[in-house]
Amino acid sequence: MLLAIDVGNTNTTLGVFDGQRLLAHWRIQTRPERTSDEYTVLLAELFSFRHVEREAIHHACLSCVVPPVQNPVVEALVEYLNLNPLVISPGVRTGMPLLLDNPKEAGADRIANAVAAYETAKKSCIVVDFGTATTFDMVSDQGEYLGGAIAPGIQLSADALFTAAAKLPRVSLLRPRHAIGRNTEESMQAGLVFGYVGLVDGIVERMMREREAPDCRVFATGGQARLLVGASRFVRDVDEFLTLQGLRILYRRNRA
């Protein structure tokens, strides 16, 4: 079985695969101050909670966008599972041409998303990943990674609004019933959620127009994906484990 780990700025997602099947998954906070010993204990507790036998894990794959976290996680995998994981970094075989000015700048999680989406769609596609930042990545009909866009995440936008405006409260990110709010909380939710849907649809539509790909398939992943997808004109496919699936595919390609 394969343990796939995606370390993001806010959350770290872990998944155990038996072949293509995701058997167990967890989402924990990303904390750069954790030591390798703490990660070892955490892995043991997570495995115990889902009745995963560590002896059954024979492979591991890691993507990380928080550099201080990478070494402690790798050390924990070596200590607890006796495995040296495949770390997605420049030089790893992706099976996807990266048509960027500097391919080394491509985020490991974004490449994993693009690989997983194209493996599913087999045609031009866009991935919108709702995380600390919201990323947009486009793949051509030929399976080439074309690049994308990066915008502040919706939670980051909400936190900035609360911090910068003295009289505005912190609100829960829930989809409001109407665009015209009748109180401060509903007004803020309408502005954040529907405003963000406009941002997502605007960028996706512009990407489609630039590439002349009106039938492009659009995937959503990340913690806030389900909050926004129902209101979007373009996003139809939601897979909160798309990045983990991409890591599984990348591991298979490099192992081969």
Per-residue pLDDT of the chain (256 residues; tens, 9 = 90+): 999 999 999 999 999 999 999 999 999 999 999 999 999 999 999 999 999 999 999 999 999 999 999 999 999 999 999 999 999 998 899 999 999 999 988 899 999 999 999 999 999 999 999 989 999 999 999 999 999 999 999 999 899 988 888 788 888 888 888 999 999 999 999 999 999 999 999 999 999 999 999 999 999 998 888 887 778 999 989 999 999 999 999 999 998 6
Based on C-alpha coordinates, what's the Rg of the chain?
19
For residue 247, being part of any structural domain is answered with: no
Q: What's the domain count of the chain?
A: 2
Q: What CATH code is carried by the domain that includes residue 10?
A: 3.30.420.40
For residue 115, being part of any structural domain is answered with: yes
Of 6, 37, 101, 109, catalytic: 109
Same domain, 132 and 217: yes
Same domain, 126 and 80: no
For residue 255, being part of any structural domain is answered with: no
For residue 126, being part of any structural domain is answered with: yes
Tokens linked to 232: 């979007």
Any catalytic annotation for residue 109?
A: yes
What pLDDT does residue 164 have? 87
Same domain, 110 and 201: yes
For residue 94, being part of any structural domain is answered with: no
Same domain, 83 and 119: no
Rounded to whole angstroms, the Cα distance separating 185 from 201 reads 24
Task: Indicate the DSSP class of residue 98.
Answer: B
Same domain, 143 and 199: yes
Same domain, 116 and 232: yes
What pLDDT does residue 224 have? 82
Give strand ranges (E) for the chain: 2-7, 11-18, 21-29, 59-64, 86-87, 125-130, 133-139, 145-152, 217-222, 237-238
For residue 96, being part of any structural domain is answered with: no
Q: Which domain holds residue 180?
A: 103-240
Same domain, 119 and 37: no
Tokens linked to 138: 């486009």
Same domain, 203 and 126: yes
CA trace torsion 206, 211, 136, 250 (10° rounding):
170
Same domain, 71 and 174: no
What pLDDT does residue 220 have? 96
Tokens linked to 175: 């989809």
Tokens linked to 185: 């909380």
What pLDDT does residue 256 have? 62
